[in-house]
C-alpha cells in the first residue's frame, strides 16, 4: 500500500531529510527528527487518563457501586451528578467502577493478538518459505469468516474474558500479520538489513534488533487498532449478557440495563456510552498519530 | 509573449518549526530555454522543484510566492502536472509503480489520444530498451539501470512542455544520461519546451543551461575537520604480495538457480589495491558484490580470503572471514536503520565483530565518526536528521568498524554530489594508504574508476580487464603522496 504511490512518498521523505541539515545545529545534538507532535501529546494524555480512570476509578467512586442510594431513575441532583439507575444505584459510581474488567480484558486481548501477529508477520515476511506462505494464506482465510460469528462460538465455549481474547486473536491477528509481513519483506532489501546480515548477524538478531525497531511505530499503531477491536468485541459480548454477573458494574451491561429508562434519566445511558466511546476513540486517535509520525499514511 | 513560460515569484518555503528552507526565490524560464539550479546538497534544490510542481512533502509549507505558467497562476497543480510536466526524480527506479509493467508505466504517462499505435514501444526503444524483452517486466524484474531508463521513458514519452530533471547526473547511468541530455539539447531553442534541471555537474550545467541559479544555505556544518586516521594497522600497507581476496571460476545467477548472469569470474585483489568494475546496468555487478558479502549464493566456483576458503553462506564463515569483507550499499535512504542513532549503529558491529564491551564500543564509535570526517555530535542523531552524504559516510564508518581487509563498495558515490563524493573517495584513498585496505568498487562514476589501480569491464556475461586502465594517466594521483 505504501509502494503504490511510492514516488511521492519516497521523494517526500528525501526532500524533507535534505532540508534538515541546514537547520540541525542544535547544541545538544538532540534527535530532532523524532519530535513529538502536539496532537500526539493530547491523544496520548487522553488515552492515559481514560485508562487510569477505567482501571482505578473504583477507588474514587465514593459510593459502593452496588449500593442502592436513591429512588429508581432518580434524576441528576447534588451528590448524584449522573442520577440513579433502574435499581436506584449511583450511576457515577458505576461508571467509575465499570471500566476496569472491560479495559483489562481488552488490553490483554489486544496485546495477545498483536504479539502473535507481530511474531508471525516477522517470520512469514522473513522466511519466504512454502510454510510461511501457507500460514499467510490460512490467516487470510480466517479474515474471510464473519468475526461476530466466531466470537459468539468462542463465548459459548469459553468464559467471557477468554472469549474476547479468542475473538480478537481470530479477527485481529491476521491483519497484524499481514501488515508486519509486508513491512518485513520490504525491509529485507534495505541497506541496514543487508549490512547486518553480511557482518554475520543471525536472522533472529536482525529481526529483533533491526527490523522490529525500525517498524516500532507501525507495530504500536497496529496495537492501537487491535485495542479498538477488542473494546468493541468486549462491549458487544457484554451487551449481549456474556459479561460480568448482574450486580457487578460494567459500561456495556449498563447500556443494556439503563436503555429502558432513557426518558427518565438519560444520563444513566449516555455516561457509560461516552466512556466507551472516549476509550476507543482516544486509543484510535493515538494510533493514527503514531502512523502519521512514521510517515505511513 | 514575454509572460510565457514558467515564472516563479518570491517563492518561500518553511518547515514545521518555521525555519525558512527557500527564501523569496525568483525564477523565469522562457519557452525554449533551459534553467539549471545548482548548489551543495541540503541547499533546498529538490524542495524548490517540489514547490514549483505544487507537491511539497508533508511538513513543509508554501510560505509565499506565486508559480505562474504562461502568465497565469497554476490553480489545479495535479491536472497541470499531468498535462504539461515530465518529471524525473533523484531515485527514479523507486518511483515506478510495483504492479505496473514497463509498457503500462509508460502508457500511463501518455495523453489518452496518443495511447494507440505503439507509442509505448517507441518511447521505450528511444531510451535504448527492447520493448519486446522489457515491456512485460515489472520493476522488481528490472535491474537498477533498466528501471532508471523506464522512468526516463515515462518522463519523456509525452514530450512534455515542462521537463523537470532532479540530479540526472547521479540518478542515471552514463548511457541513459547521454540520452536524457540529448533530448534536452533538442528541446533547447525549439520555442516551446521549458526545461528545469537540478544538477551539481558543472560540465553539464555550463553546456546546456541558458540560466544558472545558485542556491546557498546559510549554514553548512556537515563537514568537520578530518582527524588523522587511527584504525588498527593489522596489515602491511602497499600493493602487491599475496592477494587478500581471490575469486576463481565463479558463476552467478539471478534468481539463484536461474540463467547465469556472470560466468567464470576470476579476480584477485591485493591489499591496498583498488579494483573498479564497470559495465552496463543489469549485468550482475552488484550481485557479484552481494555474493562476496554472503548475501547471495554463487552457482559455481570458489573464493579465498587471506588464503582461507570462503563459504558462500555468511553464517558458515569464520569470524575472521566475516570481518575481512565489508559491504557498503548504494542507497543512502535506507543504508541506516531509522530507529537507531548513529552511535548505536556504529557500536553494534564493534561489539559483534571486535568483541568490545558496550562502553568501549561507544567510545570507539565516536572515534570512527572522526575517522570519516563527521562531527561526534552526530552520534546522538537519528538518520532522518542526516543528509545523504553524511549517511553514506556513517555507512562507511560502520563498514570499517570490523577492520575489514576488503571493502565491497557498491556505487557508493552514486547518490552524492561531486564535492561529497570527492571527500568519500579521498577518505577511502587515505585508508588504503594507511591500513592497506583493498577496495572492490562497482561503479558508473568515472571519478571512482579513475582512482582505481585496475578497471574490469563486464561484457556479455564475462569479466574482462579494461585495456584503458593500463594508461598511466588514469593512475590515482593520491598514490604518489
Which residues of chain B have a CB within 8 Å of the CB of A11? 46, 50, 57, 89-91, 95
- The DSSP-derived string for B307-345 is TEE--SSGGGS-HHHHHHEEEE-S-TTTSS-TTS-HHHH
Cβ–Cβ gap A23/B219 under 8 Å: yes
CA B401-B403-B405 angle, to 5 degrees, is: 135
Residue B472 pLDDT: 40
The distance of B78 to chain A (nearest Cα, Å) reads: 12
Cis peptide before B255 (omega within 30 of 0): yes
The nearest CA of chain A is from the CA of B229 a distance in Å of 22
| Residue B64 CA neighbour count, 13 Å, CB half | 8
The answer to whether the CB atoms of B335 and A192 lie below 8 A apart is: yes
Q: Enumerate residues 6+ apart whose C-beta is below 8 A from B38.
A: B45, B198, B199, B200, B202, B205, B212, B213, B214, B215
CA B116/CA A167 separation, integer angstroms: 53
Per residue in A238-287, pLDDT tens?
A: 888 887 877 788 898 888 888 888 888 888 899 999 999 988 888 888 88
CB spacing of B97 vs A6 below 8 angstroms = yes
CB contact under 8 A, B381 and A192: no
Tell which phi-psi region holds residue A295, choosing left (phi > 0), alpha (psi between -120 and 50) or beta.
left
Give A9→chain B minimum CA distance, Å. Answer: 8
Nearest to B23 by CA among B222, B219, B216: B216
Which residues of chain A neighbour B171 with C-beta distances below 8 Å?
none
pLDDT tens for chain B, 481 residues long, are 456 888 888 888 887 777 777 888 888 888 888 888 887 766 778 888 888 888 887 778 888 888 888 888 888 888 888 888 989 887 777 788 888 888 888 888 888 877 777 788 888 888 888 888 888 888 888 877 788 888 888 888 888 889 998 888 777 777 888 888 888 888 887 888 899 998 877 778 888 888 888 877 543 333 333 333 333 333 444 445 678 888 888 888 877 777 888 888 888 898 888 899 888 777 888 888 889 998 888 888 888 888 888 888 888 888 888 888 999 887 777 889 988 899 999 999 999 888 888 889 988 899 888 888 888 888 888 888 887 778 888 998 999 888 888 999 888 887 777 777 888 888 888 888 888 889 999 887 777 888 888 888 888 778 877 655 444 433 333 333 3
Give the closest of B59, B329, B386 to A21, CB-based: B386
* Residues of chain A neighbouring B293 (CB-CB closer than 8 A): 194, 198
Contact assignment for B91 to A14 by CB distance below 8 Å: yes
Min Cα distance A291 → chain B (Å) is: 13
**Spatial contact of A189 and A128, defined as CB atoms under 8 Å apart:** no
Virtual CA dihedral for A231, A234, A239, A242, nearest 10 degrees? Answer: -170
**A33 contacts in chain B (CB < 8 Å):** 381-385
- Residues in CB range of B405: below 8 A, 6 or more apart: B235, B244, B245, B271, B305, B306, B324, B325, B436, B437, B438
pLDDT of residue A30: 38
CB contact under 8 A, A200 and B293: no
- Residues of chain A with Cβ-Cβ distance to B348 below 8 Å are 196, 209
- Residue A6, pLDDT > 60, answer no
Contact B41 A199 (CB under 8 A): no
Kind of pairing between the strands at B162-166 and B34-38: unpaired
Average pLDDT, chain A: 81
State the average pLDDT over residues A186-212: 89
How far A40 CA lies from chain B's nearest CA (Å)? 15
The answer to whether A24 contacts B57, with C-beta atoms less than 8 Å apart, is: no
Q: Would you put residue B336 in left (φ > 0), alpha (ψ -120 to 50) or beta?
A: beta
Place of cell 533538442: B186
**Min CA distance, A201 vs chain B (Å)?**
8
- Measured between its terminal Cα atoms, the distance across chain B in Å is 58
Sign of CA dihedral A29, A35, A38, A44: negative
Which chain B residues are within 8 Å of A219, Cβ to Cβ? none
Q: What is the pTM of this model?
A: 0.66
Q: Which residues of B touch A7 (CB under 8 A)?
A: 89, 94-96
pLDDT of residue A183: 92
Q: Hey, what's the cell of A78?
A: 447534588
Of A4, A19, A295, nearest to B44 by CB-CB distance is A19
pLDDT in tens, B165-211: 888 877 777 788 888 888 888 888 788 889 999 887 777 888 888 88
- Residue A20 CB partners (closer than 8 Å, separation 6+): A32, A33, B42, B384, B385, B386, B387
Q: How far is B467 from chain A (nearest CA, A)?
A: 33
Q: Where are the beta strands (DSSP E) in B329-472?
A: 406-410, 438-442, 454-459, 462-465
Contact B167, B37 (CB under 8 A): no
The model's pLDDT over A80-115, given as tens digits with 9 standing for 90+, comes to 888 888 888 888 888 888 888 889 999 999 999 999
DSSP state of B44: S
What pLDDT is stored for residue B4 in this prediction? Answer: 82
Identify from B56, B139, B385 which residue to disrupt to test chain A contact, counting A C-beta atoms within 10 A and taking the largest count.
B385
Distance CA A4, CA B348 (A): 34
Nearest to A95 by CA among A57, A139, A68: A57
Between these two residues, A25 and A182, which has the higher pLDDT value?
A: A182
Assembly ipTM: 0.72
Quick one: pLDDT at residue A121?
94
Answer yes or no: do B19 and A22 touch at CB < 8 A: yes
Amino acid at each position: 500500500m505504501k509502494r503504490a504511490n511510492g514516488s511521492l512518498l519516497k521523494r517526500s521523505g528525501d526532500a524533507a531529510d535534505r532540508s534538515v541539515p541546514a537547520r540541525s545545529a542544535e547544541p545538544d545534538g538532540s534527535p530532532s527528527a523524532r519530535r513529538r507532535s502536539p496532537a500526539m501529546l493530547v491523544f496520548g494524555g487522553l488515552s492515559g487518563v481514560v485508562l487510569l480512570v477505567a482501571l482505578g476509578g473504583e477507588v474514587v467512586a465514593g459510593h459502593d457501586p452496588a449500593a442502592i442510594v436513591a429512588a429508581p431513575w432518580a434524576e441528576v441532583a447534588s451528590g448524584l451528578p449522573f442520577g440513579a439507575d433502574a435499581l436506584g444505584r449511583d450511576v457515577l459510581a458505576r461508571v467509575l467502577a465499570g471500566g476496569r474488567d472491560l479495559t483489562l480484558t481488552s488490553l490483554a486481548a489486544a496485546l495477545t493478538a498483536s504479539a502473535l501477529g507481530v511474531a508471525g508477520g516477522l517470520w512469514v515476511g522473513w522466511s519466504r518459505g512454502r510454510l510461511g506462505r501457507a500460514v499467510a494464506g490460512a490467516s487470510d482465510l480466517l479474515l474471510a469468516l464473519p468475526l461476530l460469528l466466531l466470537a459468539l462460538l468462542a463465548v459459548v465455549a469459553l468464559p467471557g474474558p477468554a472469549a474476547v481474547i479468542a475473538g480478537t486473536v481470530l479477527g485481529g491477528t491476521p491483519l497484524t500479520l499481514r501488515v508486519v509481513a509486508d513491512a518485513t519483506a520490504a525491509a529485507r532489501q534495505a541497506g541496514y538489513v543487508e549490512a547486518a546480515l553480511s557482518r554475520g548477524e543471525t536472522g533472529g538478531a536482525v529481526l529483533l534488533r533491526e527490523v522490529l525497531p525500525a517498524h516500532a511505530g507501525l507495530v504500536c499503531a497496529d496495537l492501537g487498532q487491535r485495542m479498538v477491536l477488542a473494546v468493541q468485541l468486549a462491549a458487544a459480548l457484554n451487551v449481549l449478557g456474556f459479561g460480568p454477573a448482574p450486580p457487578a458494574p460494567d459500561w456495556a451491561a449498563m447500556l443494556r440495563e439503563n436503555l429502558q429508562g432513557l426518558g427518565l434519566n438519560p444520563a444513566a445511558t449516555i455516561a457509560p456510552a461516552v466512556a466507551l466511546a472516549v476509550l476507543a476513540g482516544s486509543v484510535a486517535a493515538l494510533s493514527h498519530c503514531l502512523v502519521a509520525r512514521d510517515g505511513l499514511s | 509573449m514575454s509572460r510565457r513560460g514558467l515564472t516563479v515569484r518570491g517563492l518561500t518555503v518553511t518547515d514545521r518549526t518555521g525555519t525558512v528552507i527557500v527564501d523569496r526565490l525568483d525564477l523565469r524560464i522562457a519557452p525554449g530555454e533551459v534553467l539549471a539550479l545548482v548548489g551543495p546538497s541540503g541547499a533546498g534544490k529538490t524542495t524548490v522543484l517540489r514547490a514549483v510542481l505544487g507537491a511539497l512533502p508533508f511538513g513543509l509549507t508554501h510560505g509565499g510566492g506565486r508559480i505562474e505558467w504562461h502568465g497565469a497562476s497554476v490553480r489545479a497543480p495535479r491536472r497541470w502536472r499531468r498535462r504539461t510536466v515530465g518529471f524525473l526524480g533523484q531515485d527514479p527506479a523507486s518511483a515506478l509503480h510495483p504492479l505496473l509493467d514497463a509498457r503500462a508505466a509508460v502508457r500511463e504517462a501518455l495523453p489518452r489520444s496518443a495511447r494507440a499505435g505503439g507509442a509505448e514501444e517507441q518511447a521505450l526503444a528511444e531510451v535504448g530498451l527492447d520493448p519486446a524483452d522489457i515491456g512485460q517486466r515489472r520493476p522488481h524484474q528490472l535491474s537498477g539501470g533498466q528501471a532508471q531508463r523506464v522512468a526516463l521513458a515515462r518522463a519523456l514519452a509525452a514530450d512534455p512542455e515542462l521537463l523537470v530533471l532532479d540530479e540526472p547526473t547521479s540518478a542515471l547511468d552514463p548511457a541513459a544520461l547521454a540520452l536524457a541530455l540529448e533530448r534536452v539539447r533538442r528541446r533547447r531553442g525549439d520555442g516551446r519546451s521549458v526545461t528545469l534541471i537540478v544538477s551539481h555537474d558543472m560540465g553539464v550545467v555550463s553546456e546546456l543551461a541558458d540560466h544558472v541559479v545558485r542556491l546557498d544555505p546559510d549554514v553548512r556544518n556537515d563537514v568537520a575537520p578530518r582527524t588523522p586516521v587511527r584504525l588498527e594497522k593489522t596489515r602491511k600497507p602497499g600493493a602487491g604480495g599475496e592477494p587478500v581476496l581471490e575469486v576463481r571460476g565463479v558463476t552467478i545467477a539471478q534468481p539463484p538457480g536461474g540463467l547465469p548472469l556472470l560466468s567464470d569470474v576470476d579476480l584477485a585483489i591485493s591489499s591496498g589495491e583498488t579494483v573498479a568494475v564497470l559495465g552496463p546496468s543489469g549485468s550482475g555487478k552488484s550481485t557479484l558484490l552481494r555474493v562476496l558479502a554472503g548475501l547471495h549464493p554463487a552457482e559455481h566456483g570458489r573464493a579465498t580470503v587471506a588464503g582461507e576458503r570462503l563459504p558462500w553462506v555468511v553464517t558458515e564463515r569464520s569470524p575472521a572471514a566475516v570481518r575481512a569483507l565489508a559491504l557498503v550499499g548504494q542507497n543512502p535512504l535506507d543504508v541506516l536503520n531509522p530507529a537507531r542513532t548513529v552511535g548505536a549503529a556504529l557500536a553494534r558491529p564493534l561489539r559483534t565483530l571486535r568483541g568490545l564491551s558496550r562502553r568501549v564500543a561507544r567510545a570507539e564509535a565516536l572515534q570512527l565518526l572522526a575517522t570519516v570526517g563527521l562531527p561526534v555530535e552526530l552520534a546522538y542523531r537519528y538518520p532522518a536528521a542526516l543528509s545523504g552524504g553524511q549517511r553514506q559516510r556513517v555507512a562507511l564508518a560502520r563498514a570499517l568498524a570490523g577492520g575489514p581487509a576488503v571493502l565491497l563498495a557498491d556505487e557508493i558515490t552514486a547518490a552524492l554530489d561531486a564535492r561529497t563524493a570527492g571527500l568519500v573517495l579521498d577518505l577511502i584513498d587515505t585508508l588504503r594508504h594507511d591500513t592497506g585496505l583493498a577496495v572492490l568498487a562497482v561503479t558508473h562514476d568515472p571519478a571512482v574508476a579513475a582512482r582505481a589501480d585496475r578497471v574490469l569491464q563486464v561484457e556479455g556475461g564475462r569479466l574482462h580487464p579494461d585495456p584503458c586502465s593500463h594508461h598511466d594517466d588514469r593512475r590515482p594521483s593520491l598514490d604518489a603522496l
